[in-house]
Amino acid sequence: MVLRESKSPSKNRVKITLADKLDEIYNSTVCLDTTCKGSILCCKTACPQMNFSEYSALIHEIWNSISKSEKLDMICKSIEYFFKNDFSKFKQEIFIKPCMLLSKEGKCRWYEQRCLSCRMFGIWPESIYTSRVDKFEKAYAGLLKREELPLNKQCPYVKRVDDSVPLTNEVINSLYKQLDELDKKVGNFSDLQVEQKENYRTFHDWLLYSTFGEQWLIDLTNFAISASKEIIEDQMCATKKAIVDVFSKDMPDLGK
- Reply yes or no on whether the pLDDT at 30 is more than 70: yes
Q: What is the CA radius of gyration of the chain?
A: 19
Mean pLDDT of the chain: 93
Return the pLDDT at 9.
54
Specify the amino acid at residue 88.
Answer: S
Residues 96-114: what's their mean pLDDT?
A: 91
Tell me: the pLDDT tens digits for 36-80? 877 777 899 998 999 999 999 999 999 999 999 999 999 999 999
Q: Of 39, 48, 158, whose CA–CA distance to 106 is shortest?
A: 39
Tell me: the pLDDT tens digits for 117-134? 999 999 999 999 999 999
Q: Of 99, 60, 69, 117, whose CA–CA distance to 204 is shortest?
A: 99
